[in-house]
Amino acid sequence: MTILQQLDSPLIRRALLEAVLVGALCGAVGVHVLLRRLPFFTLALSHAAFPGVVLASLLGVSVYLGGALASLGLVLAVAAIGSSRRLEASTATGVALAGAFAVGVLLQSAQSGGSRDLAAFLVGDVLTVSPRDLATTAAFGLIVVGGLALFHKDLVFAAFDPVGAKAAGYRTAGLEVLVLALVALTVVTSIRAVGTILAVALLVTPALTARQWTDEIGRMMALSALFGALAGVGGIAASAQWSVAGGSAIALTATGLLVITVAFQQARRALLPGGRQPSGVTAGRCG
């Protein structure tokens, strides 16, 4: 049964809308993840959110609240470590990645039926999305998009030339914390759709795909959001057609779009050696 045949189901409609919202949001934020070389930190954030989500589930409170508090705790810890310089931020991030995941598994193992719930937390269960989840995704998305729009020029300037931005009077440390906080909120927003682990795929892969088509930040963010949304649609369609896990299908669709794009660009370069191709990311006309 195809997704078109199942659109009469409110479950499928909610899942599709959630996947599109999360995919577009992750795609837009993912450009800043690439600009600042934060994929590893994003992976650590997803692990840091995990124990918060599990604990919130055990306590019967919002998993979004638990994940947000745990992720923002890591953001503040990394910011404090970076300012004190007593320990490399990357080292602290690696420790947090393993430690947080271990805490989450330990908490989950104490709960009956934990294996089933563990899979839902890690890779998502988009078909269980409720109207309240959709409202939460929309609210978090507005906060993140609002932050990106309000501080767009500042964030791009600090990403390309942090020394110059600091000399120009920008509070670069505050901007870095802002970016990390926006990434953290995006990871938490993705929990229902793709889980804490696969959120990294949506935060990196669509941005990489968009990077193959343009080197202007504004256009790249728009394309990345589009590719993220397409991954959401394709993943839900595959889930409906073959009864496979929605979160995994979304992540694999995003990867497939990247593979197709890279193959197309390679073929174009072989046929048109003089064809224009991105040589370096620039702020373009969007800054």
Give the domain CATH number at 77: 1.10.3470.10
What pLDDT score was predicted for residue 278? 52
Burial class (CB in 10 A: 0-12, 13-18, 19+), 135: exposed
User: Using N-to-C axis directions, what is the helix angle for 63-84 and 191-211, rounded to 10°?
Assistant: 50
Average pLDDT over the chain, rounded to an integer? 84
Q: Is the pLDDT of residue 244 over 70?
A: yes
pTM beyond 0.75, yes or no: yes
**Is position 98 within any domain?**
yes
Question: Which residues have CB under 8 Å from 94's CB, separation 6+?
Answer: 40, 44
Q: 169 pLDDT exceeds 70?
A: yes
Residue 143 domain flag: yes
- Calpha distance 235→242 (Å, rounded): 11
Domain membership flag for residue 188: yes
Compute the half-sphere exposure of residue 151: CA atoms within 13 Å on the CB side of its CA: 21
Q: Which of 165-174, 184-193, 207-216 has the highest mean pLDDT?
A: 207-216
With a cut of 90, say whether residue 114 has pLDDT above it. no
pLDDT higher than 70, residue 124: yes
pLDDT tens by residue, 52-93:
888 888 888 888 888 888 888 878 777 776 655 555 556 666
Structural domain includes residue 283:
no
Average pLDDT over residues 177-198: 88
pLDDT-based confidence at residue 98 (cuts at 50, 70, 90): low
Closest CA to 222 of 234, 230, 210, 232: 210
Number of domains in the chain: 1
pLDDT at 17 over 60: yes
| 196-212 burial: b if 16+ Cβ within 10 Å, else e | bbbbbbbbbbbbbbbbb
Residue 284 in any domain: the answer is no
> 128: domain range?
3-271
